[in-house]
Amino acid sequence: MYADDETVRRILLDTGDTWAVVGLSDNRSRAAYGVAGVLQRFGKKIVPVHPKAGTVHGERGYASLADIPFPVDVVDVFVNSDLAGDVADEAVAAGAKAVWFQLGVIDEAAYERTRAAGLAMVMDRCPAIEIPRLADRA
């Protein structure tokens, strides 16, 4: 387990509502597309981050985290595990408050580095699963 329920709750409810979704494109068959839609329905502002930087769910995309011209609270990572560590490092450099690695995205060294930098971190979980679960317990 790479995050306790309190960390999950804090990121989802208290960390802020601007979520950069790395790997999000307009491909409706990808998990990132569906999860970003759930985040929006629960009041989060999503910021697509993808090399092609298209508009997704009505929000302008950016090619990288460094290209986003405003603060981001949470960086939600939908890339392969071998690329996720670099994204976590970019999130730290960009001043994010938290990093969330999606289901199946695991990099223990990145987890340790990110937490050591003072950011909250969740790994191998999905906010689209956790948000409704938290709402059901409220």
Give the predicted TM-score (pTM) of the model: 0.94
- Residues 8-41 as b/e (b if ≥16 CB within 10 A, e otherwise) read bbbbbeebeebbbbbbbbeeeeebbbebbebbee
The Cα–Cα gap between 14 and 26 comes to 28
| pLDDT above 70 (res 122) | yes
The Cα–Cα gap between 69 and 71 comes to 7
Mean pLDDT score, 29-50:
96
| pLDDT above 70 (res 36) | yes
> Looking at this protein, which amino acid is placed at residue 21?
V
Q: What is the mean pLDDT of the chain?
A: 94
